[in-house]
Structure 1
């Protein structure tokens, strides 16, 4: 069987899908359009001018042409999966569709955040992690996946709470949570990814528990970061109710979770001993949650959320 995954793999999660497929003996390939870069400075300047005066992004066009170039090399595929298809124009979907009898999509952003309704008619099947979109559009619900091996980390964590995220409007809630757990004499470390220099001045200049970086954390270092905390903080973006990868990384590392995503209680792995769903006013954020241990999941529940199970569902594998 031949399967190709097409995605803009910014955080390097999607490559794990191809790895698992290959381990099961499938001829799998990953077309990572995020890997397409400007050839040189002149090309970068040309693209900037094109966007400004012609409203045409040459870099995005190059990424989409890369898909067709690679598919011509690979030939016909039994299945092609596109992750978050809104980054690919309709005319390219029409061409990609010709390379496979089963063209499928996975949305791990909500349509409210990343509109793709105008493209979904190209696909034979659409999977989504967002329950609102599933209920509205009839997609098949599937969560993000646990790509890590199951790990037993020492109970002697460096911090009581850790949080890793891009800089956005979630920062305000994260700040309130930090202040509240400090009142409990609990420790924390926040690592915020962004570009503006004023962020560190405003939030972290007098607080060593806040770290800021303009570069995303290397994918292989994410589990190491989370392993330093007893509890992982998960804050959902606006207009989205799907489960982030953070949930599954915490699951593999046997870490407790504090989240504002109320839909998490609907999943089989939910245990109030492990997961605290905070109220908007943080009135239920308490010291005792940090002072109890993680409760193990039953193996059959844990395995339900692994990447091995995910690929079986998405690609109809036995």
Structure 2
């Protein structure tokens, strides 16, 4: 392993969801970084009545949906600023994903402490418009939706990646198993249930897991062909489950114009991918023997796809989409 990062210190502000901060920290430490974690408070603190009224006015009259998130960030910033004040060492880099989850004052304080600050918005800009106020606060600002680069000349396109510190060949593979994990979204229950039924008809084993993050209404009398999780599966646990599976399922989120982590995990962990995201055809690793694209309920050709062996890529492809290469590129 290249030791170029040994002795470097990086501060990370990562969206606190399904163990992602820990996943970043572990892979960064694997590469030799000293990691400082700026904790992201996930609690939905109530905002004052005055700000609630301002939010409603801005949202429905001015079409500005940023006030509530900005107010919450301001309420939470005291603890984070106190944490930053106690740092008395050199920080080489700072990396934020979803920087809009932190207040602007917190970002500015981090910039004072770090040699270079980087942001990566792995959700669409229009989905979380508060982030538009953060574009000029960083040395580099990356987005994963290539269409977002048209919204500001300083935005740089990059892809997601796969974490490359957990690759193992020791896991026993459950033959014909198809793994999926995701949060509950509008219409996803029906879509996932229909896909599971289709895969069962093809003698595949759908190992599908849904975390009901938003406490969406569920028909408790219905027998779903997937498991409902009370607590989310951590990112690390899902990586382990992926490596035990034969196939991966990826469902495209129409709010985005990019490829999910699942796509790159199928590449890095050498799994065949079943997806409805046709954008994958535009990438240099697209191979119809390894990636099956379906539309709606049309799975024509999947039988041949199942029978054909996984085709290895050139080592340069695996390296290109690894976390090691990703972090190297964005910190340059």
**TM value normalised by structure 1:** 0.82
The answer to whether the 8 A contact 1:160-1:186 is kept is: yes
**Which residue of structure 2 lines up, in the alignment, with residue 73 of structure 1?**
86
The answer to whether the 8 A contact 1:81-1:105 is kept is: yes
The answer to whether the 8 A contact 1:33-1:66 is kept is: no
The answer to whether the 8 A contact 1:200-1:211 is kept is: no
Give the direction of change, closer, same or farther, for the CA distance of 1:134–1:284 in structure 2 (3 Å limit).
farther
User: Pairwise mapping of residues 41-60 of structure 1 onto structure 2 (< 5 A)?
Assistant: 47-48=45-46, 50-51=47-48, 55=52, 60=73
**Which residue of structure 2 lines up, in the alignment, with residue 41 of structure 1?**
none
The answer to whether the 8 A contact 2:23-2:236 is kept is: no
User: How much does 1:125 deviate?
Assistant: 0.8
Please report the RMSD computed on the Cα atoms of aligned residues, expressed in angstroms: 2.9
> Secondary structure of the equivalent of 2:220?
helix
- Within 2, Cα distance between the matches of 1:294 and 1:51? 56
Q: How many residues align?
A: 303
Are residues 1:309 and 2:325 paired? yes
User: How much does 1:216 deviate?
Assistant: 0.5
Are residues 1:113 and 2:111 paired? no
Are residues 1:28 and 2:35 paired? yes
Are residues 1:199 and 2:212 paired? no
Deviations 1:258-317 (A, max 9, x none): 11222222222221111112224525463222222221121111011111111111112x
Are residues 1:249 and 2:268 paired? no
**Which residue of structure 2 lines up, in the alignment, with residue 173 of structure 1?**
191
- Within 2, Cα distance between the matches of 1:294 and 1:19? 29
**Which residue of structure 1 lines up, in the alignment, with residue 202 of structure 2?**
184
Give the direction of change, closer, same or farther, for the CA distance of 1:23–1:214 in structure 2 (3 Å limit).
closer
- Within 2, Cα distance between the matches of 1:159 and 1:230? 6
Deviations 1:200-235 (A, max 9, x none): 626xx434x411012101333212332443211111
Equivalent position to 1:5, from 12, 19, 23? 12
> Secondary structure of the equivalent of 1:199?
coil
Equivalent position to 2:142, from 121, 124, 127? 127
The answer to whether the 8 A contact 1:177-1:282 is kept is: no
Gaps of 5+ in 1: 38-43
Deviations 1:31-72 (A, max 9, x none): 1214x77xxxxxx9xx55x55676489975464233322222
**Which residue of structure 1 lines up, in the alignment, with residue 308 of structure 2?**
292
The answer to whether the 8 A contact 1:226-1:232 is kept is: yes
User: How much does 1:135 deviate?
Assistant: 4.4
Are residues 1:237 and 2:253 paired? yes
> Secondary structure of the equivalent of 1:216?
coil
- Within 2, Cα distance between the matches of 1:17 and 1:313? 16
**TM value normalised by structure 2:** 0.79
**Which residue of structure 1 lines up, in the alignment, with residue 236 of structure 2?**
220
Deviations 1:133-182 (A, max 9, x none): 13443422222221143333778525432211100023333233223223
- Within 2, Cα distance between the matches of 1:234 and 1:20? 23
> Secondary structure of the equivalent of 1:103?
strand
> Secondary structure of the equivalent of 2:313?
coil
Equivalent position to 2:285, from 269, 272, 275? 269
